[in-house]
Amino acid sequence: MILAILLAVRALALPVVVDDALAYAATDRARAISVLENALTSGVDAADLDTVLLYAGEQRRLSGDAAAARRWFEQVAAGSAASAGARLGKVLLDAGGPLDEAARRALASAPAKSIPATQDADRHLLLALDAAHRNDATEAADHSRAALAAASADPAVQERVAAALADVAKGRKATHDPLARAEQALAEGRKEDARKAAQSALSSAPAGSPTAVAAASLLRRIDAPPADANRIAVLLPLSGKYEGVGRQILEALREGYEASGGNRTLLEIDTGGSPQGAVAGLERAALTERAIAVVGPLLSDETGPVLTAADALHIPLVSLSQSVDDPTGHPWLLQGVPTRSDQTDFLLASLTRDYGYRRFAVFAPDNAYGKSASEAFAGSAGRSGASVAATVLFPSDAKDLVPHGAKLRKAVKDADYDALFLPQNARDLPFACAALAFNEFPMGEFRPYKDKSPYRPVVGLSSWNSREVVTNGGQYLRTGLFVDVFSPGIGTSQAIEWGQAFKAEYGRTPSALEASAYDVGRLLGTAARGPAADRAAFLQALLDAEVADPITGAGDFDATTRRATSDLVLYTVGRDAIRVAIPGPPPTP
């Protein structure tokens, strides 16, 4: 009994270093953390160690540094007076959504006298929000009062708890997530409440974290003027290395937009071909130009940062990049062109179903495109019941690929694979094929041993789609197979006629990407003809848009996958032209 009393007294008496840190925490949490962690580094009395560990973890939790907080909590000795606080601290770190029964019990049973006051405030806050979700007004009120009383020990926590409980008091749907509270307040027109909640989220999140980025973007949205319904931004590389292709895509997009009667202004924004330029362009479109929607970006390394920015700024984005893994994870994104995974899924399904090819060797450049295409191919192989026998990545700037071809030769034998997957552009393909031929790989019509070598086709993606595979590919690429949505002079009468008219207008044969951009422009123009006056309404207008006789099959956006419903085609390389592939027996030597 005497021991229990002594332990209780110790639980209430804080070490001097903790008292000092809590005094600093009222105005300078970083200094509080420094005081506690310096003490742990220099050494504290054994009797005080667990308490200092607990409060170091708690101050880290309040600063938003969950990983460091957890490390300190986990060093608290089991059974010590501070262990209840350490256990509760880990529960609070893990309580990122609606409470399950185990978390509810852990929060409710924590002894108030053995835990930091800020933990007591947050556990009662979570229990109040949970009760509000369950429509238990009495319990919500009791926990709200307890949370506010405990929070008075720390001004920042007090402000955060008070803001969170304001919605409970007004009968609104409760949430302990300050970002969600901010979004809710902004949607209801309560800008100052939204600002406070967003600032709370920003101050408690680690710098550069997704939460910090989203909170900063939300604060910018709170202060931004409303969207201008007459402006649609087009985000493309219009200077630098990729200026040529960017301007070609812009011409095709604009032609499709005008063909569908688009009656809003297309605003051109240059990314400069860099991720930084693309994000700056997206922010300019959303916040300065007040565009109602954005089309772009085009380049792979621009894609991820722009998707994140578009989600944070709540602006519809129609992507022209092939690098989007899953559009469904981005609520403001629509995917306008087939992704690499779309292409590899279609390619593997066609090769396994129509040709019986099930084992593949991969020879790819060790760059962003080669690696992502190889990874997509491996994933598609697994989904189609095929397999990758071996993969060799070679330096994209290598002057001699023969040694790398030798590595692939060692990894496979003729009987071990059915086809070679080469994800490269048409210009570089012959160089890779020559290295493989030197290592006695049969490819297309090439046989290193005329009567003994089996037939092995080379297969690829849309990067092959150029006249160069015919003129420069020779016997290596002949009978090769690749996928795309358009090839000039092939397909429906609408596609053929459009290609001819495009060449007459612009003096060049259109690429598949230009054909896709034209169809995206038509969908965009169709949405623009409607009455949508804000970004959410325009996003829905895009999902509702339909066009007849699309060039690439992109007549609408699938509401579930959020992709334009493009029609991929399997093409083959002939002696004098690219043709639609027709399943059949392999060519004889």
Per DSSP, the residues of 335-358 read: E-S--HHHHHHHHHHHIIIII---
pLDDT at 427 over 80: yes
Distance (Å, rounded) from C-alpha 215 to C-alpha 472? 53
Instruction: Please give the average per-residue pLDDT across 60-89, as a whole number.
Output: 89
Are 34 and 52 contacting, i.e. CB atoms less than 8 angstroms apart?
no
Asked whether residue 256 carries a pLDDT value surpassing 90, the answer given is: yes
Q: Please check the confidence at residue 3 and state whether its pLDDT lies above 60.
A: no
Q: Which residues contact 398 (CB under 8 A, 6 or more apart)?
A: 404
Q: What is the mean pLDDT of residues 275-287?
A: 95
Give the bridge partners for 228, in sequence order. 291
Question: Using CA atoms in the order 269, 273, 275, 279, what is the torsion angle rounded to 10 degrees?
Answer: 0
pLDDT at 169: 64
Q: Which helix (H) or strand (E) holds 485?
A: none
Distance CA 87, CA 83 (A): 6
CB 463 within 8 A of CB 426: yes
Q: What is the pTM of this model?
A: 0.70
Residue 395 burial (10 A CB sphere; 0-12, 13-18, 19+): exposed
User: Cis ω on the peptide bond leading into residue 305 (within 30° of 0)?
Assistant: no
The pLDDT value recorded for residue 64 is: 79
Q: Could you give the 3-state DSSP secondary structure of residue 414? A: helix
Closest CA to 568 of 481, 506, 501: 481
- Per-residue pLDDT, averaged over 131-149, amounts to 85
Strand pairing partners for 546? 556
Task: Strand 419-421: give its sheet, edge to edge.
Answer: 387-394, 359-365, 419-421, 458-460, 481-484, 569-573, 578-580
Angle at 255 between CA 252 and CA 256, to 5 degrees: 90
Show Cβ contacts of residue 406 under 8 Å, excluding neighbours closer than 6 positions: 439
Structure tokens at 195: 């600002």
Bridge partners (DSSP) of residue 578 are 573
In 3-state terms, what secondary structure has residue 230?
Answer: strand
pLDDT band at 439 (very low <50, low <70, confident <90, very high): very high
Alpha-carbon gap, residue 520 to 504, rounded angstroms: 21
The answer, yes or no, to whether residue 180 has pLDDT greater than 50, is: yes
Strands 569-573 and 481-484: what pairing?
A: antiparallel
Lowest mean pLDDT among 428-432, 501-505, 568-572, 581-585: 581-585
Query: In whole numbers, what is the pLDDT of the chain averaged over residues?
Result: 89
Half-sphere exposure of 375 (CA within 13 A, CB side): 10
Instruction: State what percent of residues in the chain have pLDDT above 70.
Output: 94
How confident is the model at residue 399, as a pLDDT? 93
Homologous superfamily (CATH) of 227-335 is: Response regulator (3.40.50.2300)
- Predicted pLDDT of residue 202: 83
- Who's near 517: CB < 8 A, 6+ residues apart? 249, 250, 252, 253, 256, 320, 336, 337
CATH number for region 341-484+573-580? 3.40.50.2300
496 HSE (CA, 13 A, CB side): 5
Which residues are bridge partners to 231 per DSSP?
A: 265
- Which strands, in side-by-side order, build the sheet including 317-319? 265-270, 228-236, 291-295, 317-319, 333-335
* 116: its two tokens: 């930091």
Please tell me the predicted confidence (pLDDT) of residue 172.
52
